[in-house]
A and B are shown apart, each in its own frame.
Chain A
Amino acid sequence: MELGYWALRGLGEPSRMLLRYKGVEWKNTAIPMADATKWISEKKENIGLDFPNLPYLFDGDVKLTESIAIMRYLGRKFDMMPDDPAKGDMVEMAIHSQRLELTKISYSPDFENLKERFITKLKVFLERFGAFVAKPFIFGSKVTYIDILAYEYLDQIRALTPESFTVEVSEYMQRVADLPNIAEWLKSEECTNKTYTINAPFAAGWPGFPNKA
């Protein structure tokens, strides 16, 4: 299995986190931004992807793009699907929509003006999400791919606006962060949260540079 994405967190990190959580063998193709032009001109259209893009997943003869499609594929493969598919899909897309909103404002030169409206809508979402999640995980005792997606995206958003995060959501996030393999990764020397930006480093509004401890 190979997961390819830029050497930053962005939309590829949830899939990396899921693969780390499962402890399976996988190839982490993390493309440095400095190599972007080269990758786009040499590799992007030549590795057998129907809709060339990043992130991509190779698993045997399966070749996928679109971050949500990849997460759902891994969720099915590793038996991490919610029992209620409709509710699962809905919370998955509600979370993903927040991340897409962050993307939109992060790449805008008008970021400072757009940030306030983003945070207002985020607070509504976080209140709803906090009320929706069961304990310990979104759908109870079973860890689903949506927990990994939620944790990573919420952690990225939290870097922008930590004060928006309610106790319920923060405690939920800690329960995911404490999962085996994830806990070790987050504490490890190699954890790329220390070095990766959340968006592209050239993002006009908010690259999301890592905090230096």
Chain B
Amino acid sequence: MKLGYWKIRGLAEPVRLLLKYLEQDYEEVVYECGDGPTFDKSCWFDIKFSLGYDFPNLPYLEDGDVKLTQTIPIINYICAKNGVGPTDVKSAAALDMCIHFLADLNMSNVRLCYGSAENLAANKASTVAAAQPGFKQLADFFGDKHFLGGDKPCGVDFFCYEVLDRWVRLESTSLADHPSLTSFLDRIRALPQLATYFSSPDSTRTWPLNNKMASFK
């Protein structure tokens, strides 16, 4: 199995967390853009259309004959292959809703990170404030459940982890009013399968959140 992406956490990180949790071996195919001001991306764009993908993009997953792009489809594929997560129509619908909600919640964070430094300074506080109702809705959606997948994490849990951790990295007080979400982050970090991943100084966890052209990396 190969996972291709930039040398950042970004959109691939939920996939990495999921694969590490499932203790699946895979190869990281890493693309690193150049430094400013041009941030040369030719290492990717030169080969992008020659790798045999229907809709070439990053991240990509190659697993035997399967060649997939788009983060959520990649997560769904890995979960289906490993029998992870619920398959009944109602639970699947709730988790589809949750992952798309999380993708929306992530968008204002990403926009802020990749906007100008002036914009980041001017709008960080208000952006974090605007995300608070969403955090509350998410906390209520969890209810008493330890994971979105129930007793065990499913793919959406790792997407959720990364989205929330990005907010905390951007502004450490982001989840101050939502202790249950902070507990969720701790709970994911405490998973035995992820112990090495979170503690190793060489792991992709140490990579920047965002790419080189971002105002907040």
Contact = CB atoms under 8 A, between A and B. Distances in A.
Interface stretch (A31-39, A62-70, A197-205): A62-70
B204 interface: no
Interface bracket on B: 20 to 34
Interface in A29-75: 50-53, 62, 64-69, 72-73
A51 B54 contact: no
Contact of A69 (B57, B66, B77, B93): B93
Which secondary structure characterizes the binding site on chain B?
A: helix
B89 A77 contact: yes
B150 interface: no
Contact of B54 (A68, A76, A85, A91): A91
Given A52-B137, A69-B96, A76-B92, A89 B54 contact: no
B77 A89 contact: yes
Interface bracket on A: 20 to 34
Given A89-B77, A90-B54, A90-B73, A51 B68 contact: no
A95 to B, nearest CB: 9
Contacts of A92: 73
B76 interface: yes
Contacts of B92: 72, 76
Nearest to A67: B100
B26 interface: no
Contact of B55 (A69, A76, A128): A128
Contacts of B73: 86, 89-90, 92-93
A50 B55 contact: no
B70 A66 contact: no
20 contacts: A50-B141, A51-B101, A51-B134, A51-B141, A52-B137, A65-B101, A66-B101, A69-B100, A72-B92, A73-B89, A76-B89, A77-B89, A86-B77, A89-B72, A90-B73, A91-B54, A91-B55, A93-B73, A94-B69, A132-B55
Interface of B: 54-57, 66, 68-73, 76-77, 80, 89-90, 92-94, 96-98, 100-101, 104, 134, 137, 140-141
